[in-house]
Amino acid sequence: MSTETKVRVIPAPNINPESQPYWDAAAKSKLLFKHCKACGKNHFYPRSLCPFCYSDQTEWKEASGKGVIYSHSTMRRAPEPYTLAYVTLAEGPRMLTNIVDCDFDKLKIGMPVHVVFKPSKEGALVPVWSPD
Amino acid sequence: MSIKGKAYIMGAYEHPTRKAPDKSIPQIHAEAAKGALADAGLTKDDIDGYFCAGDAPGLGPLSMADYMGLTKLKHLDSTDVGGSSYILHVAHAAEAIAAGKCSIALVTLAGKPLTSPTPRAAIPTAPDASFESTAGIVVANSYGMCAMRHMHEYGTTSEQLAWIKVAASHHAQYNEHAFLRDVVTVEQVVNSPMISDPLHRLDCCVITDGGGALIVTSPDVAKSLKRPLVKVIGAGEAPKGQAGGETDLTYSGARWSGPIAFAEAGVKPSDIKYASIYDSFTITVLMQIEDLGFCEKGKGGKFVSDGNLISGVGKLPFNTDGGGLCNNHPANRGGITKVIEAVRQLRGEAHPKVQVKNCDVALAHGTGGSLGVRHGSATLIMERA
């Protein structure tokens, strides 16, 4: 079944001082996550204080852009159906996101995906994922 | 200190409306409060503690206390953990009563999502909003991801999930106020339109206007009233989120709130004669049943099948009012109706066709917020005294 009908318009992201570097990087088609220099763990969504050890010694790192689908659900009761998913980044943390440019009916848990950047309503690029 | 035996639920009232274009939300709160007071045999000027959550319009307890003319209040609590708030409020009321802060507490809920729907707008200042507000999270796809992962990990099927709705519909046929009263089959559930994979339309709860209220009192007050005594014997609460990206969708916060409540009550899952289990979706019920210890993790699909949740048929009679799946989900928040039906069962006042025999210990459990993202779990265990 072809699902290449109308594509959902991604709403503009909601940017604040803490998330500004993430969206500045997204504008250059780079996906960032946070690494904690104190405990060595990666986390997502990114915070200034590490959610594991509460250190403020966190740093932005660029993700490889590789991942696998942890779970997914395609909303059928929308003017333009779309897929909500958690993707497990190659770097470890899971990211709540969308899967795009795909046949919704062929998506599977464990499927390898890669990050792509799509323009949102007001133009800002948003990181989403697509099957390899 | 424990709350075991420190408070009793002496008033419980479910507003009969399911569609209220002619009423305001504060009005439904007040009508529900009046119903619960009449049930308990008390008046509004007896109330010295008031509990409400995010559905209370205006500035929560301040606006509603003023509207309802509650002038004797000494204790307020507006903890909001979504639909599970009112289960948690009973526990918080018991704590306040045990601490001597109040002796007669009122809990109210009301809303009109059917006739005056307001979009669940993302809160722009929420800490996750900067990273997640573009993704289109609504309720059904959040719970859909949980169901999809549960199916992947444990082999749970749509037919097994459907049995939860089938059981609820068997109960709802006897409830004259239920929004949906038709008994449905597994085939009807799995053949209903897909909403968000793998959840079908009949895997989802109803959207109804309505409300409810509870009266929680001290033991002294309880024993002065003429109603059956429903004693609070244990409670637990826990939030669960994404754990910094170590997200695990296979279980709910019931894994933590349940054992706290069972330990306080001094009972085991096998002692529970009736369970009100939050049923925003069929998958919500299945995960909570596992996490509360009614069956082994991953075996929920088998446990709920073949009518095992139907009163008089199965081992765990659940949601004998028809639950959120068939009866009522006022304000898109089902916690208060979970406590109300448990109280009916413990009093022996459930519909005769669904009344559990010798119902001496009951449980009410809720999941508020969004199961696949961030949710609050609340467990309450009650005993007929």
- Show residues of chain B in contact with A71, CB under 8 Å: 145-146, 148-149, 152, 249, 372
> Would an 8 Å CB–CB cutoff place A42 in contact with chain B?
yes
> Would an 8 Å CB–CB cutoff place B191 in contact with chain A?
no
> Would an 8 Å CB–CB cutoff place B371 in contact with chain A?
no
DSSP code string of A25-91: HHTTT--EEEEETTT--EESS--SS-TTT--S-EEEEE--SEEEEEEEEEE-SSSS-EEEEEEEETT
User: For residue B123, what pLDDT is reported?
Assistant: 82
The whole-angstrom distance between B155's CA and the closest CA on chain A is 13
B4: phi then psi, degrees, rounded to nearest 5: -60, 120
Mean pLDDT confidence for B20-43: 98
Taking the C-alpha atoms of residue B137 and residue B371, their distance in angstroms, rounded to an integer, is: 12
User: What share of chain B has pLDDT > 70, as a percent?
Assistant: 99
> Would an 8 Å CB–CB cutoff place A109 in contact with chain B?
yes
User: For residue B1, what pLDDT is reported?
Assistant: 82
A1, pLDDT greater than 70: no
> Would an 8 Å CB–CB cutoff place B194 in contact with chain A?
yes
Rounded to the nearest integer, the mean pLDDT of chain B is 97
Interface test with B, best of A14, A91, A120 (most B CBs within 10 A): A14
Give how far the C-alpha of residue B262 lies from the chain's centroid of Cα atoms, to the nearest Å: 17
Which residues neighbour B270 within 8 Å (Cβ) at sequence distance 6 or greater? none
Mean pLDDT confidence for B264-278: 98
User: For residue A5, what pLDDT is reported?
Assistant: 59
Taking the C-alpha atoms of residue B323 and residue B312, their distance in angstroms, rounded to an integer, is: 17
Radius of gyration (Cα) for chain A, nearest Å?
15
Interface test with B, best of A71, A83, A107, A115 (most B CBs within 10 A): A71
Mean pLDDT confidence for B331-335: 96
In tens, the pLDDT along B279-316 reads: 999 999 999 999 999 999 999 999 999 999 999 999 99
- Whether B196 and A77 lie within 8 Å, measured CB to CB: yes
For chain B, the straight-line distance linking the first and the last C-alpha, in angstroms and rounded, comes to 21
Mean pLDDT confidence for A81-98: 98
- The partner residue sitting opposite A76, judged by closest CB among B133, B147, B195, is B195
User: For residue B119, what pLDDT is reported?
Assistant: 75
Taking the C-alpha atoms of residue B182 and residue A132, their distance in angstroms, rounded to an integer, is: 46
Mean pLDDT confidence for B112-119: 91
User: For residue B124, what pLDDT is reported?
Assistant: 85
- Tell me which amino acid residue B194 is: M
User: What share of chain B has pLDDT > 90, as a percent?
Assistant: 97
Residue of B nearest to A52 (CA): B244
- The partner residue sitting opposite A10, judged by closest CB among B134, B138, B373, is B134
Helix (H, G, I), strand (E, B), or coil: what is residue B106? strand
- The partner residue sitting opposite B124, judged by closest CB among A14, A46, A96, is A14
Question: What pTM did the predictor assign?
Answer: 0.97
3-state helix, strand, coil in chain B (%, to 5): 35, 20, 45
B187, pLDDT greater than 90: yes
Dihedral Cα B379, B334, B29, B4, nearest 10 deg: -10
The confidence band for A3, taking pLDDT boundaries of 50, 70 and 90, is very low
Mean pLDDT confidence for B23-47: 98
Find where tokens 């037919």 sit: B159
- Whether B134 and A13 lie within 8 Å, measured CB to CB: yes
B151, pLDDT greater than 80: yes
Q: What is the ipTM of this complex?
A: 0.96
What is the 3-state secondary structure of B302-335? HHHCCCCCCCCCCCCCECCCCHHHHHCCECCCCH
- Show residues of chain A in contact with B135, CB under 8 Å: 84, 96-98
Packing angle of the helix pair B254-265, B282-291 (nearest 10 deg): 50
Find where tokens 């709910």 sit: B252
